[in-house]
């Protein structure tokens, strides 16, 4: 079956512009996660959704970052007034539900470059 898809695959933007990153999870998966992978660093948790609710937003780096999920499916991560330090690969994952022992399956990522 289809895996997690993300769009765009690459995004180049200018400092100060807003960007939207999209994630389409595996069909039937109720939990969705966003992570960030910066060069030379491990994956960093940003936020997770169970259904349309986001019980844990603790990983969002600043109030410039927000995310929403509608219809229990597609999610959008929005970064406002982008800064150069936002440059990274943004990865989305989904799992059957948010029980801690369930495997998370990752999409290919969106590489964001802020000039």
**Positions that interact with other proteins (CB under 8 A):** 4, 31, 33, 35, 40-45, 48, 50, 55-56, 59, 91, 93, 98, 100-101, 103-109
The least CB distance from residue 51 to other proteins, in Å, is: 13
The least CB distance from residue 108 to other proteins, in Å, is: 5
Give the three-state DSSP class for 50: strand
- C-alpha distances out from residue 53 to 31, 44, 70, 73, Å: 10, 20, 9, 11
User: Between residues 51 and 80, which has the closer beta carbon with respect to other proteins?
Assistant: 51
The least CB distance from residue 8 to other proteins, in Å, is: 14
User: Between residues 55 and 61, which has the closer beta carbon with respect to other proteins?
Assistant: 55
Closest CA to 114 of 91, 84, 78: 84
User: Between residues 27 and 99, which has the closer beta carbon with respect to other proteins?
Assistant: 99
Closest CA to 80 of 57, 61, 59, 63: 63
d(CA 34, CA 29): 14
């Amino acid at each position: 079956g289809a895996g997690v898809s993300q769009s765009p695959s690459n995004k180049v933007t200018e400092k100060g512009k807003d960007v939207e990153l999209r994630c389409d999870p595996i069909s039937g998966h109720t939990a969705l996660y966003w992570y960030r992978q910066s060069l030379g660093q491990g994956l960093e948790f940003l936020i997770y959704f169970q259904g349309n609710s986001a019980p844990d937003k603790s990983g969002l780096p600043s109030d410039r970052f927000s995310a929403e999920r509608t219809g229990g499916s597609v999610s959008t991560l929005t970064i406002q007034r982008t800064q150069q330090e936002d440059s990274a690969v943004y990865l989305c994952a989904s799992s059957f539900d948010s029980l801690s022992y369930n495997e998370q399956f990752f999409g290919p990522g969106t590489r964001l470059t802020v000039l």
